[in-house]
Structure 1
């Protein structure tokens, strides 16, 4: 019997490429996202597409009712849905912050809770959370996003410890910068300036940085393709004894080491310079 994988955020980028690779490797793929229309390419490959908004409890319940009507088996869950709520902390409303954590943290937890009973009953399963090297350091102008990825690090570690007794393995995927729709999507959520626009200059510098930092043709950082990350996700699903963490790309390897070699103030200065907030 083919193994069953459920993937969130499969309409584009890493999730979309992962769904394709799983299908090509013989998995029965349930590809989920908010838009069914954007998963037509996956339908053509034989994937079963399901509408799922990870921030909407009714949508979660409906999606899994649809999935479990077609299978009692869940071998792999890939928690990929996510986005970056950029903006300087003073500018972010409670609604901005809640939605960031609703997508990247609370939605991921709810989806995971939906599959755990199936996996516990089967005494096996693999949960693969797509995090980021950004769960280990923070850049100015994106602290809410980094905070959500820090939270995912901790939740993944706790879950791994809790469900190992049931034969369930938990993996964290930690890519560096990836060239996807991630940046354009985050730009759409950028907050309005607060009174007086005290961050005006830095807002412009941040916008300029976004236009280049994950563009493989312009960036000074090594940039990954979604396929490169998807290949590691499929590898992590297939290995009998997967690693607990997969660091993908040069940035994911070197940035934590660099941060660990510096004081906080030294690293702050490096980030401000690298991301164009100060000259020098």
Structure 2
């Protein structure tokens, strides 16, 4: 039984992933602003915290839970994301900041607060996007989102180097199109080849085993464009 922290669990991939870990006997701390979907499921292995990850004070709830309940964190999945789809000149500075608060700063903060509980063999998996990959196809309207997803790739590469002696692994999965509400915001009407559950299956296995093969790597998980 491993201790798993997952952000962005109210819908889509995070929602499916939390259930999959729980059904396979692992303890899950599920973090999202909207805690109702997983609370309604009421799984004995899932603890749901209502947290605004862009608010540093709110993140104290996460620290308190781990400190009081778990001796260590085996896996952290930074899955939460925020997207604004607007032409570049119409994205306000505040909107740009809000996207970065969730997609970059919160990833850094949550990773930082779990560091004391990460041990040899722990695995931090950050969910990025093909839009954040240098040289990949880019799409109008996603300047804030895609640039933020590029930032967490570099952050993860740096953390892998910084914590390699402790044998804590940091890897990134740059996802292509998955049928989620966020995809619908980015590409209205587009039908993705993969469901949220199918992608959750992949992430579940990678989170458990990927650190045996990779550290400081970015894996492009995409079968389509977008």
Superposition TM-score, scaled by structure 1 size? 0.74
Matches of 1:42 and 1:60, distance apart in 2: 23
Matches of 1:148 and 1:232, distance apart in 2: 23
Instruction: Indicate if the aligned counterparts of 1:51 and 1:63 stay in contact, CA closer than 8 A.
Output: no
Matches of 1:22 and 1:242, distance apart in 2: 21
The equivalences for 1:131-280 within 5 A come to: 131-136=128-133, 137=136, 138-183=138-183, 186=185, 210-213=187-190, 215-216=191-192, 223-239=193-209, 241-243=212-214, 244-251=217-224
Matches of 1:13 and 1:51, distance apart in 2: 17
Q: Offset of 1:29 from its aligned partner?
A: 0.8
Greater C-alpha Rg? 1
Greater percentage in strand = 2
Matches of 1:171 and 1:242, distance apart in 2: 10
Q: What corresponds to 1:117 in structure 2?
A: 116
Q: Offset of 1:231 from its aligned partner?
A: 1.4
Q: Offset of 1:248 from its aligned partner?
A: 2.1
Q: Offset of 1:242 from its aligned partner?
A: 3.5
How many corresponding residue pairs? 220
Superposition TM-score, scaled by structure 2 size? 0.90
Instruction: Indicate if the aligned counterparts of 2:53 and 2:106 stay in contact, CA closer than 8 A.
Output: yes
- Say yes or no: does 1:104 pair with 2:74: no
Q: What corresponds to 1:46 in structure 2?
A: 45
Matches of 1:15 and 1:246, distance apart in 2: 18
Matches of 1:22 and 1:32, distance apart in 2: 14
Instruction: For structure 2, list consecutive stretches of 5 or more residues without a partner in the other structure.
Output: none
Greater percentage in helix = 1
Task: Say if 1:159 and 1:183 are closer, same or farther in 2 by CA, change over 3 A.
Answer: same
